[in-house]
Structure 1
Amino acid sequence: MRSRSTNPLIRGSAPPRTSHAKKGEPVSQPALAQVASNPLSRGESTPALFPQGASAQRDGRHGELATAAHPREDVVQPEPHPRGEEPSAALVKLRSFQTLEDVTVAEALLAHLEAEQVDAVFGIPGGNIAPLVQALRRHSRIRFIIGSHEGGSAFMADGYARATGRLGVCAVTAGPGATNAMTGVASAHLDQVPVLTLSGQVSTERFGLGAIQESTDEGGINTAEMFRHCTASSTSVVDAKSFPRLLERALKTAHGVPRGAVHLSLPTNIARQKLAKVSVPTAPGAWKSTLPAAPASEVFTAFELLRHAKRPLIYLGSGAREALESRGAEFATFVRRFCIPVVTSLRGKGLFSEEDFLSLGVLGIAGSKRAEQYLGEGVDVLMVLGSRLGEWASKSFSSLFQAASTVIQVDATPSVIGQFLQVNLPIVADVSSVVAGLVEFGHDSAPAHEAQVRERRQHLNALNLAHRSAAAVLPEEGPLKPQHVMQELNPHLRGNTDLYVDMGNCTGWATHCLRITPPTRVFYPCGLSSMGWSMGAVIGGKIGRPENTAIALTGDGSFLMNGTELVTAVRYRVGAVYVVLNDNYLGMVNHGEHAQSAGEYPLDDPYFSLGNPDLVKFAESLGARAYEVTRPGQLSELLPEVLRRADEERRPQVLVCRIDYREVPPYGDRFAAVASAPKEG
C-alpha cells in the first residue's frame, strides 16, 4: 500500500500563493480559500484553455476535484492564473463522400485506401488473392510491393504506418500466406500501429470441400479466428453487399482508441462481384476517432502538482509522440521554465532531445543510469504521458518506481492506467490536450519555489557531470565493440532520419548508448519483441517517407531471419541502410544464459553459434552494396559515403560490423528478472 502522500497539494495544504504575487515572493494563505469559487476546481465547463478551441469538458464529478484516486484525502488547489484572452471556437470540418457506381469489391477497397492516402500495399500474390492483385495492377496511384515472405511484408506495412502516420496495408493469400503474416500483424497490433491485413479465401461455394488453402473450420484452418486473437478485429466477408460496412468498421477499429491491426478475409468470388453503388470518403481521416480532450480541472491539478513539487519527473511514452511532434518546442520551454527533468520509454526515445540537460534518457530495460539514480533518490510527483509502463518501460517492473509518492498517468485507453503503479491522478484523455494545457497554464506562471528550482538545477547538472565523468573511454585500438558502433553511428542520426531498431542485443546498445534529438525518430517493436522486424520495417518506412534517411540497426540473428527482404529493397529501389552487429551468436540468449548460469556455460560455447556465415556475400548476392567493418573508426569513415550512395543510387547499403562477442550487453536487470522467475512444482 502506498504511504500517505507528502505532496502538500494532495494533503490539502498547498503552499500559499496569490495570482498577483511577484516572482519568488511568499504569498498569503487566504488566496487558497478562493479556490472553492473557481470553476476549474469545481469541474465546471469553462471557456477553452487549449489551442484547439474546444471547451474544457465537465469532469462529471459534481463539485469534486479531479483527484478521485484520493477518497480519504482532500485536495486544495491554488487559484488559476488569469488569462489575457480566450481562444475562439472553430467549426468542425464535415466529412464528405462520393458515390462510385458499378465497381467490383476489390476496386471499392482500393478506392477506400486511396481516400486514406495509402500509396503502397505490401504482400505476396497468390491465387486466392488474385482479384485484388489484378485490381492493383490497374491502379495508377497505389503500388503493390511484393516481398520475399509474408512476415516481412507485414513488417513493411508496420514500418510504413509508423513512418507516415497513415494506414499500413498487407495483402496475402489464404492458408500459409495468412499464417506467415501473423507475427508481423501481431507485432503491429501490440504496438498500437494501424495495419489492415487482407487475406485471400477460396470461393464461398467451395467452403467445406477441402479446396486448396481453404481457410474455414469445415475444410482447413480458420484464419479469421486465428487473427481474432492477435488483432483488434478479424472478419470474414461472405457477401458483397456487406463488404462496405465491414470494411468501414475495420478502418474505424484500426484508427480507434487504442489503434491497432485489423483483418479481413476476402473470398475470390466476393472480391470479383460488382457493387451497384458504394460511398467513399473524399478526404483522409474520415474513420479516425477524435480522442477525448482532458478536463481543464484535471490538467490544472496536474500542473500545480508539478509546479509545487520538490523532485518532479515527467515520463514520455510512445503515446506522447503526436503531442511532442506537434508541440515539442513549447513542451521544452515549459519543462525548462520549471526545471522538470524528463525521461522516456524505449519507444518514446528521442521525443525529447537527449542532448538537453533536463533529459535523463531512457528509464527502463537497458536505460540510463542517470534516470535510475534520480528516480531511486525519490520523486514526489511522477507524470506518465502515454505509456502503460509494461516490462520494457518499467525496467522489468522495478521497485524503483515505488519511490514516486504521487503518480499522474495520462492515456487515452482507460485500461492501461494503473496496471503497474497505483495512480493518484488518472487522466483518460488525448495526451496532446494535456501537453497543450500544461503549456498554456505555464505561460503566465512562475515556479512555486525558486529556491527548489535552483537546487534541482544544480543537482541535475552535478548528476549529468558525474555520469559523464564515470563513462568508460573506448579504446582506439583492439577489437570493435558495439559501443564503438553506437558512438560512430550517433553523429549521423541528425535531421529527418528514421532509425528502426530490431530486437536483441542491438536493442540494448541503441537504448543505452545513442543520444537522439528530434526530428530524428526511433522505432522499436517492443510489444511482441519480434526479431527480424527492422529488415522489413525500414523498407516500408522508406517507401512511405522517401525524403527521410532510413536506417535499420539489427543483429546477425535477426538479419538471417528476414535478410532476404534485401531483394525487395533492390527490386523497388529503396535506399535503406542496414547496420548489422555481427558477433556470430544469438547474442542476447548467449549472454543471458551465461549470466543466469553464473558462468557455467562459456560465451564461446558453440551451442548458440550462427555458423559464421559470410553476411557481406549474402547481402551482395541479393543485389545490395555491402561493406565489412572490423576496427574502431572504420564506420565513421564509411558512413558519409554509404548514406550518399543510398540516396543517389536508391539501392540498399549493408554495413556488417564484426563486433566482439564477449562485450556484455546492458541487460543485467532483465537477465536477473528471467533468472528469478518463479519455478513450477
Structure 2
Amino acid sequence: METNTNALTVDDLIVHFLKLEGVKYIFGVPGGGLMNILNTLKNNVSDLTYFICRHETGAAYMADGYYRATGNLGVVMVTTGPGATNALTGIMNAQADGSAVLLITGEIDQRFYGMGYLQEGIDASLDIKAIYTAATGYSSIITSGSDAATIFKQALRDALSIPGQAAHVSLPVNVSLEPVSITSLPTAVSAYRTSPKGTPLEDVKTAMASFLTAKKPLLLLGNGCRQALSDNATYKSLIQFVETYGIPVITTADGKGVFSELHDLSLRVYGIADCMWPYYYFTDKETPYDGLMVIGSSLGELSTNSWSQILVPQVENAPFIQVDINQKIIARSFEVTQGIVGEAGAFINDLASLIPQFPPDEEAVTLRKQIISNIKNTHSPFVDPSFDYNSNASPIKPAALMRVLQSGLPSDSKIFIDAGNCVGWSVHFLAIEPPASIFTALSMGPMGFAVGAVVGAKIGCPNITCVGIVGDAAMLMFGAEVSTAAHYKAGAIWIVLNDNNLSMVSQGMEHFYPDNTNPGVWTELYELGSPDIAGFAKSLGAEAHIINSPQDLENILPTVLSRANNDGVPQVIVANIDRTAIPPYYNAEYIVTASSQNN
C-alpha cells in the first residue's frame, strides 16, 4: 500500500519515513540550519518528540543508548557546521558498536555554497559529507525533492541492517521545503528494506559435525549475537543446544550478558577484565581444550587478550569455527577450519533444530559438565582476592561496590559502562543474567558514552531501572546531560567512581613506566582538581548522594530506585573509592601464558 504525495515537501517525506519506522523520539540540538524541519516537527509533536540535549555528542550517545535498550532506531538531529562536527564522536561510536542510529544534519541554503556562509559544511574547507563517509556506514546529501526519497530510504536500509550501522543525511535548508517528485510513499517498511534471516543449512550441519567431535569444546559469543539473543525463542534454542551437549559458554566483554553468567555452563567473560574460569578451562592438561565455535565476534584486541594463542585449540586438526554476518572479519585475526557467513539467530536456531540428527555422547557430556563444575567449585572467578569483593571498608573498594549493585539492582536492569577503570570493575565483578543487560563501548572506548546513553535508555524504557557506571572525569565531560534527564523527567541513575584522577591513565603509566625516583608522580600529574561532583549534579536538577562505604550504598539504594523509577528524578551517587585500587586489566596468568605461547 502507498500513500499519495500531493503537496508533500522533503520535510514531510522525512517525517513520514520516521513515523513508518516507529520512531517516536529524536535527540539533538536545534539551530537555524534546521529551521524548516523544526517547524514540521512542531506540527507533529503528538507523534515525534525532539529531546533538546546539552551537547551534540551527548545527543548521539542518547540515541545509541536508546537503540541498545529498545532495539528501535535511534535518531539524532543537529544543525550545520559545528553542530554536525560535535556529533561525530557519538555517531562514530554507534557505527563501531553496531548500533542503528540515523543522523540528520542541517546545511546552509544551496545558493550560498562556496561563498563563505556562516557554518557552511559543503563546498568549503569543511566537508561534512566526507567526514561522515569516513565514520559511518552511509553518508549523503539530499540535493533536491527528486532524490530525497531515494537517499533517505538508503540511509534507513543501511542503519537498520545487520549489524546495525550509523547513517548520515545532510539536509540543505532550502531543499527541505522543496516538493517531492515521486507520486506515492510506501506505507510499510517491507516496501524498501529487509534483513538477512538465514544461514546455509549444509554449512551448519558441517560445523555441528566437526564441533561435536571435540571432547572439550567451547562456545564464544560476541556482541554480534546480542540482537539475535534478545529474541526469547532464539535464546531458548541456545540453551537447548549447550545443555544437550554440555558445552561451556564464554562471551567477549562487549557481549557480556547475552548468555546468563549464572548458568551452570557459563565461564563468563574472556578478554579484557576477564574471569579466571576460562583460563583454567584452556590450560587443563588432563583433558585438552580441543574445539572452538565463535558466533558474532570480530575477535579484536580486547576480545582476545591481544590475540593470545591461548584461544586457539591446542589439539591437531581441532575445529575453529567462526560465524558472522560480516564476511570481512571471518579469519581476520585467527585462521579457521570453517567460516560461515550467516545471521547469528538463524545459525543458533539451526543448531537446535539439528539436535535429533546428532545424538549427544552422554559420556562426553557428563565429562564436560564435571570439568566445568570442578573449575567453579575449586577456583574463584576473580583474578585476585585482594580486590576485596566482600570488603566494607572506607574508602570504598570498587569490587565491593559491584557486590552491592549485584544484589541491590532489579533483575531487569539495564547497565551502561563508561570508558576507563569502570570497565574493569564492572566486567570482572558483575554477573549478568537476562533479562538484565549490560552495555559497553569497547570498540572505540569514548569517555562519556554511558553518561549520555543511560538517559536515552531511560527515555526508551521508563519503567526499567537504567544505570550508568561512570568515572568522575567522564561525568565532568558530559555530565551536563543530567540536566536533559531532569528536564524531561527521565529517572536515570549514575554511579560515579570518584577518585579525583584519570586513574586508568595514571595507573597504566605507573605500570608501564614506573618512576622509582619520584613515587606517585603519575597520580599527581592526572588529578582533576577535586571538583564537587555532587554539587554539580544538584545544580543540574538531580538528587545527589555521597557514599563512603558499601553499607552507605545499601542504605540509600531503595530510595534511589524509588525516586528514579516512580518519580522520574535523576539520581547521582558519588562513590568515594579507594584510589589505590587497580582493576583487573593486567592479568598475570593470561599474560604469562600468552607470552609463552607466542614465543
Which TM-score applies when normalising by structure 1?
0.82
The residue aligned with 1:307 is: 212
Task: Check 1:268–1:557 CA distance in 2 against 1; reply closer, same or farther (3 A cut).
Answer: same
- State the shift of 1:177 in Å: 0.4
**Aligned equivalent of 1:353, options 247, 260, 271:** 260
2:544–2:573: 8 Å Cα contact kept in structure 1?
A: yes
Task: Check 1:111–1:447 CA distance in 2 against 1; reply closer, same or farther (3 A cut).
Answer: same
| In 2, Cα distance between equivalents of 1:548 and 1:292 | 30
| In 1, Cα distance between equivalents of 2:409 and 2:255 | 16
| In 1, Cα distance between equivalents of 2:4 and 2:412 | 39
The residue aligned with 2:376 is: 464
1:265-304 CA-partner distances (Å, limit 9, x unpaired): 1110001222365543323465543215112221112222
Q: Percent identity?
A: 36
The residue aligned with 1:594 is: 510
The residue aligned with 2:349 is: 436
The residue aligned with 1:23 is: none
SS of corresponding position for 1:274 = coil
1:346-374 CA-partner distances (Å, limit 9, x unpaired): 12111111111210011111111111221
1:153–1:170: 8 Å Cα contact kept in structure 2?
A: yes
Matched, 1:522 2:438: yes
| In 2, Cα distance between equivalents of 1:651 and 1:281 | 40
Matched, 1:385 2:295: yes
SS of corresponding position for 2:87 = helix
| In 1, Cα distance between equivalents of 2:566 and 2:344 | 39
1:116–1:285: 8 Å Cα contact kept in structure 2?
A: no
Structure 1 gaps, min length 5? 1-95
| In 1, Cα distance between equivalents of 2:184 and 2:135 | 30
Amino acid at match of 1:347: D
| In 2, Cα distance between equivalents of 1:547 and 1:282 | 31
- State the shift of 1:669 in Å: 5.4
| In 1, Cα distance between equivalents of 2:405 and 2:79 | 39
Amino acid at match of 1:422: E
The residue aligned with 2:573 is: 655
| In 1, Cα distance between equivalents of 2:5 and 2:557 | 50
SS of corresponding position for 1:101 = coil
Amino acid at match of 1:396: S
2:54–2:480: 8 Å Cα contact kept in structure 1?
A: yes
- State the shift of 1:479 in Å: 2.5
1:4-42 CA-partner distances (Å, limit 9, x unpaired): xxxxxxxxxxxxxxxxxxxxxxxxxxxxxxxxxxxxxxx
- State the shift of 1:403 in Å: 3.3
Matched, 1:511 2:463: no
Amino acid at match of 2:15: L
- State the shift of 1:221 in Å: 0.8
2:211–2:319: 8 Å Cα contact kept in structure 1?
A: no
1:292–1:412: 8 Å Cα contact kept in structure 2?
A: no
| In 1, Cα distance between equivalents of 2:224 and 2:381 | 33
**Aligned equivalent of 1:187, options 93, 101, 116:** 93
2:268–2:277: 8 Å Cα contact kept in structure 1?
A: yes
SS of corresponding position for 2:480 = helix
The residue aligned with 2:121 is: 215
- State the shift of 1:115 in Å: 0.4
The residue aligned with 2:466 is: 550
**What does residue range 398-547 of structure 1 map to in structure 2 within 5 Å?**
398-403=308-313, 405-443=318-356, 445-448=358-361, 450-468=362-380, 472=385, 474-547=390-463
Matched, 1:364 2:271: yes
Task: Check 1:513–1:120 CA distance in 2 against 1; reply closer, same or farther (3 A cut).
Answer: same
SS of corresponding position for 1:575 = coil
1:594–1:602: 8 Å Cα contact kept in structure 2?
A: no
The structure having more radius of gyration, on CA atoms, is 1
Task: Check 1:494–1:439 CA distance in 2 against 1; reply closer, same or farther (3 A cut).
Answer: farther
Task: Check 1:214–1:585 CA distance in 2 against 1; reply closer, same or farther (3 A cut).
Answer: same
Structure 2 gaps, min length 5? none
| In 2, Cα distance between equivalents of 1:151 and 1:286 | 33
**Aligned equivalent of 2:536, options 618, 628, 640:** 618
| In 2, Cα distance between equivalents of 1:603 and 1:485 | 25
2:290–2:319: 8 Å Cα contact kept in structure 1?
A: yes
The residue aligned with 1:198 is: 104
**Aligned equivalent of 2:548, options 609, 630, 639:** 630
Matched, 1:317 2:222: yes
Greater shift in the superposed pair: 427-436 or 328-337: 328-337
The residue aligned with 2:480 is: 564
Task: Check 1:526–1:275 CA distance in 2 against 1; reply closer, same or farther (3 A cut).
Answer: same
Amino acid at match of 1:112: F
**Aligned equivalent of 1:152, options 42, 58, 65:** 58
Greater shift in the superposed pair: 661-670 or 645-654: 661-670
The residue aligned with 1:236 is: 141
Which TM-score applies when normalising by structure 2?
0.92
SS of corresponding position for 1:619 = helix
The residue aligned with 2:156 is: 251
| In 1, Cα distance between equivalents of 2:259 and 2:162 | 24
- State the shift of 1:311 in Å: 0.7
Amino acid at match of 2:441: P
| In 2, Cα distance between equivalents of 1:603 and 1:497 | 38
SS of corresponding position for 2:541 = coil
| In 1, Cα distance between equivalents of 2:254 and 2:185 | 34
| In 2, Cα distance between equivalents of 1:231 and 1:609 | 35
The residue aligned with 2:563 is: 645
| In 2, Cα distance between equivalents of 1:253 and 1:212 | 31
- State the shift of 1:632 in Å: 2.4
| In 2, Cα distance between equivalents of 1:376 and 1:312 | 13
Task: Check 1:458–1:258 CA distance in 2 against 1; reply closer, same or farther (3 A cut).
Answer: closer
SS of corresponding position for 2:8 = strand
Amino acid at match of 1:514: L
Amino acid at match of 1:179: T
1:68-110 CA-partner distances (Å, limit 9, x unpaired): xxxxxxxxxxxxxxxxxxxxxxxxxxxx432332122112101
Greater shift in the superposed pair: 184-193 or 256-265: 256-265
- State the shift of 1:204 in Å: 0.3
1:447-489 CA-partner distances (Å, limit 9, x unpaired): 23x3332222221111011223986253333421100110000
Amino acid at match of 2:307: F
Greater shift in the superposed pair: 287-296 or 234-243: 287-296
Matched, 1:114 2:19: yes
Amino acid at match of 2:351: L
| In 2, Cα distance between equivalents of 1:288 and 1:546 | 29
| In 1, Cα distance between equivalents of 2:393 and 2:584 | 22
1:105–1:271: 8 Å Cα contact kept in structure 2?
A: yes
Greater shift in the superposed pair: 477-486 or 553-562: 477-486
The residue aligned with 1:162 is: 68
1:569–1:575: 8 Å Cα contact kept in structure 2?
A: yes
1:282-332 CA-partner distances (Å, limit 9, x unpaired): 234655432151122211122223333111100011111233222213321
SS of corresponding position for 1:392 = helix
Paired residue total: 577
| In 2, Cα distance between equivalents of 1:645 and 1:160 | 21
| In 2, Cα distance between equivalents of 1:653 and 1:281 | 43
Pairwise CA RMSD: 2.1
Greater shift in the superposed pair: 338-347 or 590-599: 590-599
